[in-house]
Amino acid sequence: MNPILVAGPAVEAVSLVDLKAHLRLDGTDEDGPLLGLLVAARRCLEAATRLAFVAQTWRLHLDAWPPQGRLALPVAPVLAVAAIRVNPASGPAVTVAPDTYGLDAARDPAALVLDGTVPAPGLPRGGIEIDLSCGFGPEAASVPAPLGLAIKLLAARWYSHRGDGDGLLGEGLPPDVRSLIAPFVRPRLA
């Protein structure tokens, strides 16, 4: 069950204006590369923490429903279960009624809990699609301040050392960035 990104965030976790203020840059000549660095830094830190920072939509494909009626969700934090569809052997997918499942977001990892009778998939592989809205919220202000600062520090480091060839790429995350994200890093699901 590998999550697939369906729709990325509508806004970045750190605004271009905030990064430019951090770097003490004026003008718009560097806006394109800076925005690219912001996106790359967010994605890098989302991968390192196993968290979605700003609201985005992820899809899970399952072959069958979990036998216990509880499915640990591999993306966090989960804001909502956007939709669940079951593919029959032929014909269009059937949307599962929201009153047959619930979200247990109080635990980590969050879990999808089946509360009622759900239709069985008609396909042997990937017959169940679960769309999740994940992130701390829809705005940059929803992202915890240490994560926003880590994005700024990482993007600024990449900006300052672009093209220097000083070996930064193979060193992993800088210690200050690792320290900022450490409280948010989630363990892998078994």
The 10s digit of each residue's pLDDT in 92-132 is 999 999 999 999 998 888 999 998 788 888 888 889 999 99
Nearest alpha carbon to residue 158 among 13, 44, 2: 44
What is the tens place of the pLDDT at every residue in 142-189?
999 999 999 999 999 999 987 665 545 556 899 999 999 999 998 765
- Give the model's pLDDT for residue 164: 62
Instruction: Using CA atoms of 47, 38, 176, 106 in order, give the dihedral in degrees to the nearest 10.
Output: -50
Please identify which residue in the block is written with the tokens 């923490």: 49
31-49 vs 16-23: helix crossing angle, rounded to 10:
100
pTM to 2 decimal places? 0.86
- Give the model's pLDDT for residue 2: 85
Q: What tokens were used for 131?
A: 């769309």
- Kindly state the average pLDDT of the residues 58-82: 94
Q: Do the beta carbons of residue 14 and residue 140 sit within 8 Å? A: yes
Q: What tokens were used for 176?
A: 């200050």
Nearest alpha carbon to residue 71 among 155, 1, 150, 153: 1
- Kindly state the average pLDDT of the residues 34-55: 96
